[in-house]
């Protein structure tokens, strides 16, 4: 899946848990930016977690 942010074509590798909105799948750079907001939890996607470890 691709990053769900507008105009972003990178692969979505991190699931963001957003208390005031639906969860989103975003790329690592967007996860860094969006994950700074209070209450947001950035969770590496289970699908890509294995790839990151290899």
The span of 4-12, 15-23, 35-43, 46-54 binding Zn ion (CB under 5 A) equals 4-12
Which of 5, 14, 24, 31 is in the footprint of Zn ion by CB under 5 A? Answer: 5
What are the distances in angstroms from CA 40 to CA 15, 34, 43, 44, 50?
A: 10, 8, 10, 13, 23
- φ, ψ at 13 (rounded to 5°): -120, -5
Which residues within the stretch 11-50 sit at the binding site for Zn ion (CB under 5 A)? Answer: 27, 30
**Closest distance of CB 52 from Zn ion, Å:** 16
Q: For binding to Zn ion (CB under 5 A), which residues are involved?
A: 3, 5, 8, 10, 27, 30
């Amino acid at each position: 899946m691709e990053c769900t942010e507008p105009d972003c074509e990178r692969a979505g590798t991190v699931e963001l848990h957003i208390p005031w909105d639906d969860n989103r799948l975003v790329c690592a750079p967007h996860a860094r930016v969006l994950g700074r907001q209070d209450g947001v939890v950035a969770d590496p996607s289970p699908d890509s977690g294995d790839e990151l470890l290899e």
